Amino acid sequence: MIRFITQRLIQLIPVLFGVTILVFGILHLTPGDPALIMAGESAPEATVNAIRRRLGLDNPLHIQYFDFLKNVLTLDFGTSIRDNIPVSDHISARFFITFELAVISTAFSIFAGLLVGIVSAVWKYSFWDVSLMVITLFGLSMPNFWLGLMLIQWFSINLGWFAPTGWGNPNQMVLPVIALGTAGAAIIARMTRSSMLDVIGQDYIRTARAKGVKERSVIFKHALKNALIPVVTVAGLQFGYFLSGSVLTESVFAINGLGRLIIDSIFARDFPVVQGTVLVLAVMFVTVNFLVDITYKFLNKRVDLN
């Protein structure tokens, strides 16, 4: 197990390098002179030069990259062009909100998905199975921003049950979590169903029944642990996606998380903030995948280390 973790950690290094190169590239892949874009078309020459010097844009590219890397390693992402506040402060102020949204949404996806998937598999081809699978198809097909708008329309404006915007108290959290988590729940439900059906047909389930194991135990102990193996991967990817993919949901519900920070910074051409935020999200995504790998290995002892 320790060897496995070490190997996976070593494999992370090139990935993280790739991430830094891409994020560094954001600035330089944008057409035109970054300093000029940041300063604005009609800015005086002196301002543009000042920005260029401040960002080190007058140095050769590889020197710029190594400076960038050095700063990143010390968690220094520079300062925002808009308000001169360090990017790391911007990120840390908002990070927890996005993280919270992602965690709760993932928990919702897993809980609802497993519940629906297990019910469908255990009573396969029943009325409940067919109805639930049709519902998941809808859940899967709805874009989350549209679902978010519909939820606000019904539950905030028409019924007045939940707050339409913001984040913090439970009343504000329900709708964004449903909007963000529904598609994930649907995917997990369908995954769980097919995985459970596959496992329930296996010889070792018959063995368990022949041993006199209770049906509840057959499903939750013998079948579920096997069926979870592919589901864990999907749930982990969902979490990573929620961290970075909550851009739309945060915009719809006016939640001040990282997603909105990115959008606002892109519109304001605040490149250091965009760079820092994207980098943090990318690192988070990679880390989550690493954790999923380890969980996978923990559940399925047969995973080949290579």
Q: Could you say which of 61, 92, 206, 254 contacts other proteins (CB under 8 A)?
A: 206
Q: Is 202 in the site for other proteins (CB under 8 A)?
A: yes
Closer residue to other proteins in complex, CB, 62/301: 301
Number of residues near other proteins (by CB under 8 A): 21
Q: How far is it, in rounded angstroms, from Cα 141 to Cα 135?
A: 10
Q: Is 243 exposed, middle or buried (0-12, 13-18, 19+ CB in 10 A)?
A: buried
One symbol per residue from 75 to 114: x for binding other proteins (CB under 8 A), - otherwise; what is it? ----------------------------------------
Q: Which residues pair with 86 in a beta bridge?
A: 79
Angle 105-106-109 (CA atoms, 0-180°, nearest 5)? 85
Strands (E), 43-103: none
Q: Is 62 in the site for other proteins (CB under 8 A)?
A: no
**SS3 letters for 148-187?**
HHHHHHHHHHHCCCCCCCCCCCHHHHHHHHHHHHHHHHHH
Closer residue to other proteins in complex, CB, 127/267: 127
Q: How far is it, in rounded angstroms, from Cα 116 to Cα 186?
A: 9
One symbol per residue from 209 to 248: x for binding other proteins (CB under 8 A), - otherwise; what is it? xxxxxxx------x--xx--x-------------------
Q: Torsion angle, CA of 203/209/211/212, rounded to 10 degrees? A: 180
Q: Could you say which of 69, 204, 220, 254 contacts other proteins (CB under 8 A)?
A: 204
Q: Is 207 in the site for other proteins (CB under 8 A)?
A: yes
Q: Is 299 in the site for other proteins (CB under 8 A)?
A: yes
Q: Could you say which of 302, 304, 305, 306 contacts other proteins (CB under 8 A)?
A: 302
Closer residue to other proteins in complex, CB, 125/267: 125
